[in-house]
Amino acid sequence: MQISKYSDAKRTVVDNRLWAMKNSLVLEKNMCIVCDVCSKACPMEAVVLSSAGVDIDEKKCNLCEVCAYVCPTGAINIFSDKNKKEILRQSGGFPSFPKKLEIKVEKCPKDCVECEKACDMTTGGAIKVVSHKVIDVSEKCLRCVKCAEACPEGAIKVNPVFFGDIEINAEKCPTGCVECVDVCPTRAIKEKNGKVLLEKKYCVFCGACEVVCPAKDKGALVMKRNIMVSNGDGFSAIWTNALEKLTSTKSLAAAYNSINSEKLRKLALESQMVEEK
Amino acid sequence: MTNDDVRVGVFVCHCGRNIAATVDVHAVAEYAKTLPNVVYVKENIYTCAEPGQNEIKAGIKEHNLNRVVVAACSPKLHEPTFRECVAEAGLNKYLFEMVNIREHCSWVHMRDRENTMKKACDLVKSGVAKASRLKPLEDITVGVEKAAMVIGGGVAGCQAALDLGSMGFKTYLVEREPSIGGIMAQLDKTLPTLDCSICILGPKLVDTGKHKNIDLIANAEVKNVSGYVGNFDVEVEIKPRYVDDVKCNGCGACVDVCPVILPNKYDMNLKPRKAIYASFAQAVPLRFNIDVDRCTKCGLCMKACDKHAINFNQQPKTRNMRVGTIIVAVGCEPFDATRKKEYGYGKYENVINSMEFERIICASGPTGGELVRKDGSHAKKVAFIQCVGSRDEKVGNKYCSLYCCAASIKQAMLIKEHDPDAQVAIFYMDMRTHGKGYEDLYDRAREAGIMFIRGRPSEIKENSKNKNVVVVVENTLMNEIMEEEFDMAVLALGMQPTENAKRISTLLHIPADTSGFFMESHPKLKPVDTPIDGIYLAGASAQPRDIKDSVMSASAAAARAGIPMTAGKVSVEGITSVVDLSKCKVCGICAQRCPYGAITVDTQKNTTSVLGASCKGCGTCVADCPFGALEQNHFTDEQIFAQIDALLEEEPEKKIVSFNCNWCSYAGADLAGVSRFQYPANVRIIRVMCSGRVSKDMVLRAFEKGAGMVLVAPCHPADCHYISGNVWAKKRIDEQLRATLQKSGVEPRRLRFFYISAAEGLIYANLINEMNKELQENLEKWKGQKLVRAGAKKVEAKPA
Ligand SMILES: Cc1cc2nc3c(=O)[nH]c(=O)nc-3n(C[C@H](O)[C@H](O)[C@H](O)COP(=O)(O)OP(=O)(O)OC[C@H]3O[C@@H](n4cnc5c(N)ncnc54)[C@H](O)[C@@H]3O)c2cc1C
Ligand code: SF4
């Protein structure tokens, strides 16, 4: 096998190089927010997650594409030669997610850059006003609601992917610990007077805080995703696996029960790919 | 001592000058006349030739002989010949004994005529002593199942199966991979005619798959084999494909949707396949498999499959069958080029091996047949490096792989065919184009402008700028060191035994030679038989072979396997064990010793019985019976003791008694003879079928009679022809007997236990040299050590 991996300051590449064809996974480190979404969704458990960052175990990785689909910032891409490899989605195995932002540009006042300013303060330029008719939204956008809040005309609609619960019990935090504040990509968590403060409405349930929290076992931070929003269902165990791991068995059951997945559920049960719930 | 009923005739062979040059045959004959029971002695120039055989027959008739001794070559060569000869003269064939004065005497002591003479006389005496005690025996006849198994479905295995199937025998073809085809299915064109490999192989695979007498069991391995010629019981495990064989119609819809891309082994990992795949387009059977280890279990294939053929629940299946004969056609494996570090394979991207080349130049390969480098550019200047992993002691493969010179010329021609302007050079030590039409190919290649440069490259370097390879070589014809840059280097891989050859070898009890290829029963006269009756070799499993030779050997093996199956019966030698129930205490030790389950111990009925057809005649049970209740026909205690006594009558302290097993060390000593490896003449070999037959009493008897040293030489640990005889010999002789010797006042050093294989003639000769040196140094000291024994099993070497 000619699977190799190399890593530098910018990216990690898993390269499955066949003579004239190159299949690869490219992880852009500067875009990675070190959340846990890909690691949970990966069916091969090939993502090695640590507070230092995301690493891929090239011996396990199958280049099955799921991490590329779920990554909130588009930091991971899978290529087959120069093209994006999207067999899983094309075969109906994985759904797409709702468009990040829906912007009614016709409402935009001339010269208004409020959204851009609001975003700049947080995730660093995911939304860009090219002209008052053209507004670019990059993959970096995390679906926090800051631009929408800042828009004087209410022209922006944000479509979240995750819904859930999050709680920070500051009294349980180790004194002086601000790990979560440092990693929160949407600055939903702030520090005030040496205390950690959560603004729930900005939370996108990426889970980056959970990755670093040293006291999560003690209950300092509790995060639970309940629902994952997608455009329809994927017909594959990769999808159901991602659902189960990322949200809850409840929503998995919901997916199974949707008419579309009935056949899959039966097949999956038959072949013991999943256990009966 | 003379017993009137026993009339021994001795025939001493000159073997032209082979024996007579070193041994005074006439004097040996004169000596034989003085031996007890001998009534007739005759010298022959060639005893085995027709006149010689006629003299034996005449002797038997005219002198009323009832025992015959032939002192000539190795019984491994001519015992069957002479047995038949005496049988034709009306004597029971077991009343014949052979004395080896060629391989074990004249050929190995060419510089010491005096002691060679003494040895020859001793050996004849020992032979006569045994012959006088021989009993008539009958062969055991067993029925033969009219079904065969072929293991391995390369071109050889398919040919063998087709031949057997067409003869009308039910044939099970077991292939480890999901499809049959072997290496040939991966080749682009075949030499010398450059015709398309899969085009000629494909139809054969299809025929094999649909032949009414062939039961093709692919994706399976043989797990267990028991029984004997005519009646092998085989257990085959079929690995799960996770795709239902019956439901799958081979449409391939599943492949399109599978998101997992993996390298395809068939394409030498150069081309992708999915986690669900068929090995190649022409695969037989054309069924899909799921690589479960790499499958994400996404289930998309399930959705795509209309036939509901996908089933992750499949478990390995076991099938049992009884077959009369087995053909081993497991093929060979190309050498792993990463072991030749100096050629940078695996490190430099433009150093590839010959198998990869076959895929790259093939139209169905990763580049559609274009000779494209990894970086996408065309290779215009290519070097072939010969003998990579062949003729190379450093990597342990001394042999020539035979096919690769011609195969590289073929590959070079293919480059020229694709691109007449390409420059091709072949670096070789010797060009060996041995086959029919191969030399023509060589000529055509030279005409086509392919360069042949004599010299084995010492190194391949990489030009880091353009990734070109630089071949460093001493051109031995021009006597100059050259460094030449090429776009690509192709390593012509040697062939070596498959990695599972060892497992097959233990499973079937068929020995392998020093290079790991299975050994033929006789390299010239029985080239497709193994030493085990009913098991035959086909294709590259016995030695590197090209396709034609593989196919030829396969047809030969099928023909050989057809013999017992057509006859419907085979006879098994009558040299089996027998129980004396009056002495048997039903302790069950013998049943534990028997690896063939031939002994049944019934404590209820208080009896022990031996099933003759299953008994292979190793004699291990006999040697370990604490009550002396077992005896091995033709190798009785009485006979062997008589041999020991005869050999040690004179100057025993100067002699080494060597117990050699028929299959390994006896053959090893034969090999020493054939190779003329010289060693001292004071060693006296006693042949037993297995080292397991050598009892403690035999060794003690030898020391009692004053032997200087005793050697017990079994097969190497895992190689015992009788599976475990040597293990018991080791326990009994090597581990237990030394203490007894110590107690009895004999230095344990005087007993040696040393593994010798049939290929270790030189090691045997060296061992005897070394033992003799020690014996000479301690001669006086050891002479004084008398073995004192109390309560030993008493076997008198009574006259017959
Ligand atoms: C690069 C290259 C080029 C060549 N070019 C030519 C050429 O042009 N012309 C030519 O005449 N020859 C050529 N040869 C040689 C040719 O490939 C061999 O002669 C031929 O493949 C030998 O056939 P086989 O059936 O004996 O062995 P194989 O082809 O090796 O087949 C053995 C089969 O047994 C199976 N097997 C192995 N172990 C087991 C097991 N335990 N149980 C069940 N099945 C098992 C294997 O999977 C395989 O299918 C070339 C060889 C190489 C490497
Ligand atoms: S056939 Fe030629 S290349 Fe192959 S081992 Fe023999 S000499 Fe070397």
Distances (CA, A) of B302 to A276, B315, B592: 18, 18, 52
Return residues 220-259 of A near B (CB < 8 Å): 235-239
List residues in chain B touching A: CB distance below 8 A.
256-263, 269-272, 275, 294, 296-300, 302-304, 310-313, 356, 360, 366-367, 372, 374, 376
DSSP 8-class letter at B348: B
For chain B, give the longest Cα–Cα distance: 94
DSSP 8-class letter at B239: P
Pocket of ligand 2 (CB under 6 A): B 386-387, 390-391, 400-402, 404-405, 430, 432, 492, 494
pLDDT tens column, A80-127: 888 999 998 888 888 888 888 889 988 888 888 888 888 866 556 788
Contact B186, B283 (CB under 8 A): no
User: Does B307 sit in the ligand 1 pocket, CB within 6 Å?
Assistant: no
Chain B CB contacts of A88 under 8 Å are 259, 298, 300
* Residue B2 reports pLDDT greater than 70: no
Measured in angstroms, the CA of A157 and the nearest CA of chain B are apart by 33
How many Å apart are CA A116 and CA A155, to the nearest integer? Answer: 13
Quick check: A92 and B313 CB within 8 A? no
Quick check: A271 and B367 CB within 8 A? no
Nearest-by-Cβ selection for A238 from B261, B296, B311: B296
* Residue B209 reports pLDDT greater than 80: yes
Distances (CA, A) of B454 to A271, B26, B198, B461, B707: 61, 55, 33, 19, 57
- The gap from C-alpha A272 to its chain's centroid, in whole angstroms, comes to 29
**Cβ-proximal residues to B334 (8 Å cutoff; 6+ apart), any chain:** B183, B353, B354, B355, B389, B493, B494, B495, B496
Q: At residue B102, what are phi and psi to the nearest 5 degrees?
A: -105, -75
Quick check: B313 and A44 CB within 8 A? no
pLDDT tens column, B154-190: 999 999 999 999 999 999 999 999 999 999 999 999 9
- Mean per-residue pLDDT, A66-83: 91
Q: What's the confidence (pLDDT) of residue B218?
A: 95
User: Does B160 sit in the ligand 1 pocket, CB within 6 Å?
Assistant: no
Residue of chain B whose alpha carbon sits nearest to that of A263: B303
* Residue A271 reports pLDDT greater than 60: no
HSE toward the beta carbon, residue B367, CA cutoff 13 A: 20
Return residues 47-66 of A near B (CB < 8 Å): 62-66
Nearest-by-Cβ selection for B259 from A20, A87, A273: A87
* Residue B288 reports pLDDT greater than 70: yes
| Test site for ligand 1: of B162, B187, B191, most ligand atoms within 8 A of the Cβ | B187
| 3-class secondary structure, B713 | strand
Quick check: A80 and B261 CB within 8 A? yes
Distances (CA, A) of B62 to A182, B91, B95, B401, B660: 113, 13, 17, 55, 36
- Mean per-residue pLDDT, B446-462: 95
Q: What's the confidence (pLDDT) of residue B790?
A: 58
Residue of chain A whose alpha carbon sits nearest to that of B268: A1
| Test site for ligand 2: of B393, B401, B456, B545, most ligand atoms within 8 A of the Cβ | B401
How many Å apart are CA B729 and CA B747, to the nearest integer? Answer: 20
Chain A CB contacts of B374 under 8 Å are 17, 19-20
pLDDT tens column, A126-169: 888 888 788 888 888 888 888 888 899 888 988 888 888 899 99
Nearest-by-Cβ selection for B272 from A23, A93, A267: A23
Of the ranges A268-272, B651-655, B716-720, which is most confident? B651-655
Q: Please state whether the predicted TM-score (pTM) of the whole model is above 0.80.
A: no
Mean residue pLDDT of chain A comes to 83
pLDDT tens column, B72-114: 999 999 999 999 999 999 999 999 999 999 999 999 999 999 9
| Test site for ligand 2: of B395, B399, B402, B409, most ligand atoms within 8 A of the Cβ | B402
What is the amino acid identity at position B322? Answer: R
* Residue B1 reports pLDDT greater than 50: no
Select from B256, B68, B230 the least CA-distant residue to B149: B230
**Which has more pLDDT, B42 or B525?**
B42
Which secondary structure element, helix H or strand E, spans residue B759, and what is its range?
A: none
**Which has more pLDDT, B149 or B720?**
B149
How many Å apart are CA B322 and CA B146, to the nearest integer? Answer: 9
Confidence of residue B519 (pLDDT cuts 50, 70, 90): confident
Contact B387, B473 (CB under 8 A): no
User: Does B334 sit in the ligand 1 pocket, CB within 6 Å?
Assistant: yes
The ipTM value here is 0.79
Q: What's the confidence (pLDDT) of residue A261?
A: 47
Chain A CB contacts of B256 under 8 Å are 91
Contact B709, B771 (CB under 8 A): yes
Residue of chain A whose alpha carbon sits nearest to that of B310: A271
Strand ranges across the sheet with B38-44: B38-44, B8-13, B67-72, B96-100
- Mean per-residue pLDDT, B14-27: 95
Contact B574, B634 (CB under 8 A): yes
* Residue A209 reports pLDDT greater than 70: yes
Helices (H) and strands (E) in chain B, counts: 22, 38
